[in-house]
Amino acid sequence: MTAAPPGFHASNEPRPASVYVHFPYCLTKCPYCDFVSYKTPREAIDHVGYADAVIAELRARASYAEAAWSAAGSRRRIESVFFGGGTPSLWEPKELGRVLAAVREHFTCAEGDALEVTVECNPTSLDERRARDLDAQGVNRLSVGTQSLRQEQLQYLGRLHDPAGAQEAVRGALASGIGRVSTDLIFGLPGQSPEDARSQAGELADAGLRHLSCYQLTIEPGTQFGELSRRGRLPLADDGLVAEGFLAIDEELTSRGFTHYEISNYAMPGEESRHNLAYWRGLEYVGVGCGAYGYVQTARVGAAADGGIGVRYRNAIDPKAYVAAAAGVRDDALGEGDGLSISSEPLDGETLLRERIMLGLRLANGVDLGACGRDLGVDPWTPERVRTIEQLSSKGRLARVGDTLRIPRPAWLWADDTAARLF
Ligand code: SF4
């Protein structure tokens, strides 16, 4: 029997898929942030109207996605729902709960805690009571935006909370009894020593967290930091110290029993983010909400004359435009002309294979290129790619075992470049 590709079930089983819900409001706009998020006072947030719009979109997207999956020849089961943003912990839990109920109503979902439901939270909108309220709505995982435990670093990042507020939010989340709690930590800040990065990761693990996402600060064009950097006015960290910080965090957390399962993510056994794993494995996600992206398979592999087997769409990025469009969305919403998507891109097997290489190589277990090729109906072993694999392997940048490619940990710092060479 041929093994199913990672994350895939046997062919008569529904394939796993996800739902992503975007909530676009924040209390401030952090200077490094390039997400679709808008600084909005608490009292100006549109809790009910925004929930109504997302529910209308869910109904339409589910109707089309179910038809598309039927055309693709297999069913889907939603195994994770992720409320991202923005700051979805600002959303009234009751309204967020209405949206979650609509996901369950319109899609076939895994039962009970087999459905991972994550909400991103900021310390300024999370305490034990809010965590309990989210738990009562069916949320079973929180991701807390700690970012740093040092006052001067939080100030540099433009965050509204202080170290005590971050620790209090983490304590409240853990004390609430909600199933699982993760936190984000940013390293690679100017003036930060590798020892400080290590020590903060350790302090968060000491607090009882069993999942940590540790991101290097990146400067994105179009952000305040991007503009300051372009003008040479942003203090930045030394590249060597950033690399040492990455390794120091790795040492600290793996010595405590965490698995470094993705370049930026650490988990105790069984605590991995199922939603993000599905994304890194190239599985489908139905995106809803302002600015959300979605990717849905629309045809059987090899059936479409133009080789297209899926569609990626993106929603309107202005909340008011989104809410207005959702009110009139057509029931076959999955692309251009549906009244909601501002872009829609057909995806063929080669494009999807490149995405799976790029995302899959971020995982410690790597990517099963042979299985991906079979799943997408393309030959991944082109002579040029095989040559590149051999060259990269000889330099210690890549390892191949059977059909699986992975990047050895010491070479993770060059993962993006390694993946790009395999395109
Ligand atoms: S809180 Fe998060 S989403 Fe909001 S502006 Fe800051 S980084 Fe962006």
* Residues 200-215, mean pLDDT to the nearest whole number: 98
Which atom of ligand 1 is least distant from the CA of 28?
5
21-25, 283-287, 301-305, 375-379: which has the minimum mean pLDDT? 301-305
Nearest alpha carbon, ligand 1 atom 2: 86
Nearest alpha carbon, ligand 1 atom 3: 86
The DSSP call for residue 3 is P
- For ligand 1, whether the C-beta of 37 sits within 6 Å is yes
Q: What are phi and psi of 287, to 5 degrees?
A: -95, 135
pLDDT category, 4, cuts 50, 70, 90? very low
- For ligand 1, whether the C-beta of 33 sits within 6 Å is yes
With 50 as the cut, is the pLDDT of residue 341 above it? yes
Q: How far is the CA of 17 from the centre of ligand 1 (A)?
A: 26
With 70 as the cut, is the pLDDT of residue 56 above it? yes
- For ligand 1, whether the C-beta of 29 sits within 6 Å is yes
Question: Which is more confidently placed, 331 or 98?
Answer: 98
- For ligand 1, whether the C-beta of 121 sits within 6 Å is no
Nearest alpha carbon, ligand 1 atom 6: 30
Give the percent of the chain with pLDDT over 70: 97
pLDDT for residue 11:
57
Cβ-Cβ contacts under 8 Å for 178 (sequence gap 6 or more): 131, 132, 134, 135, 139, 140, 141, 142
pLDDT category, 9, cuts 50, 70, 90? very low
Q: How far is the CA of 32 from the centre of ligand 1 (A)?
A: 8
Query: Which of 95, 71, 64 shows the shortest CA–CA distance to 331?
Result: 64
Q: How far is the CA of 99 from the centre of ligand 1 (A)?
A: 22
How many CA atoms lie less than 13 Å away from 398 in the CB half-sphere?
A: 29
> Which of 29, 34, 119, 215 is the best mutation target for the ligand 1 pocket, counting ligand atoms within 8 Å of the beta carbon and taking the most?
29
Q: How far is the CA of 31 from the centre of ligand 1 (A)?
A: 9
Domains defined for the chain, CATH in brackets: 15-280 (3.20.20.70), 351-421 (1.10.10)
With 0-12 / 13-18 / 19 or more C-beta atoms within 10 angstroms meaning exposed / middle / buried, residue 235 is exposed
